[in-house]
Amino acid sequence: SAGSSADGQVNSTAVGAGAAANASNALALGSGAKANLDNSVAIGQGIVTDRTNQVKLGSATNTYTLSGVASDASRAEQVGVTHLVTTDGAGNLATSTFDIAALNDLPNNIAALDGRVGALESGFQNLGGEISETRTEARAGTALALATAGLRYDDRPGKLSLAGGFGHFKGQSGLALGLGYNTSEEFRMNAAVSATTGRGDVGVSVGASWTLN
């Protein structure tokens, strides 16, 4: 083309106004394209190669991409194991030894891990609830015991007496109601029913005593 230059070079071609391929096996296509290093290819207006064995595409002011890499046709040409393409700071491309199959399995592995973490969190929540329930029951039981311990009966023989009691322990309260009867000075018996005020738990106690001398 007019103004292009590839004179005296081996297997070199320059096409376009001001294009130059002044190196062995060089190719310059486009106005002002220059491939002046051995085995370099410059395609596009104003493209200039800056090292041997380089392929540069696009224009002097734009980022250069190979859009066909992501096409179905390009993927259809692939055979066997595929690899990730990596680049260094200078733009040199190469394939990575990273196992793509492992990358493809990553979403499933993450989903499975999320499921296990969710189950673990649920287990901790259930455990926390059970611990809280056990603590509340223990406090309620203590309140019932305190209420029953507060019952007092008439010790006189032949007397039937009614007694009531109240107990409170760390937020839990209990009420107790009991009957006591003394058949004689030597034998006494009693029975009581107690219940928590907040939970509705119920306890029952029966007792008897003998005087031996």
pLDDT (tens digit, 9 = 90+) per residue, 122-152? 999 999 989 999 999 999 999 999 999 999 9
Contact 165, 176 (CB under 8 A): yes
Higher local confidence (pLDDT), 91 or 68: 91
Range scoring the smallest mean pLDDT among 1-10, 56-65, 77-86, 128-137: 1-10
pLDDT of residue 45: 92
Q: From the options 3.40.640.10, 2.150.10.10, 3.30.420.340, 1.10.510.10, give the CATH code of 1-78.
A: 2.150.10.10
- State both tokens at 118: 């969710």
Q: Across-strand partners of 78?
A: none
Same topology between domain 1-78 and domain 146-210: no
Q: Quick check: 47 pLDDT over 60?
A: yes
Higher local confidence (pLDDT), 7 or 18: 18
Q: In what order do the strands lie in the sheet with 27-29?
A: 13-15, 27-29, 41-43, 55-57
> What's the mean pLDDT in 7-15?
83
> What's the mean pLDDT in 151-178?
94
Q: Quick check: 179 pLDDT over 80?
A: yes
- Mean residue pLDDT across the chain: 87
> What's the mean pLDDT in 12-38?
93
pLDDT of residue 68: 57
Contact 21, 39 (CB under 8 A): no
- 73 pLDDT tier (thresholds 50, 70, 90): confident
- How far apart CA 119 and CA 109 sit, in angstroms, is 15
Query: Where do the domains of the chain lie?
Result: 1-78, 146-210
- 66 pLDDT tier (thresholds 50, 70, 90): low
Under CATH, what is the fold of the domain 146-210?
A: Pantoate--beta-alanine Ligase; Chain: A,domain 2 (3.30.1300)
- State both tokens at 41: 């290819």
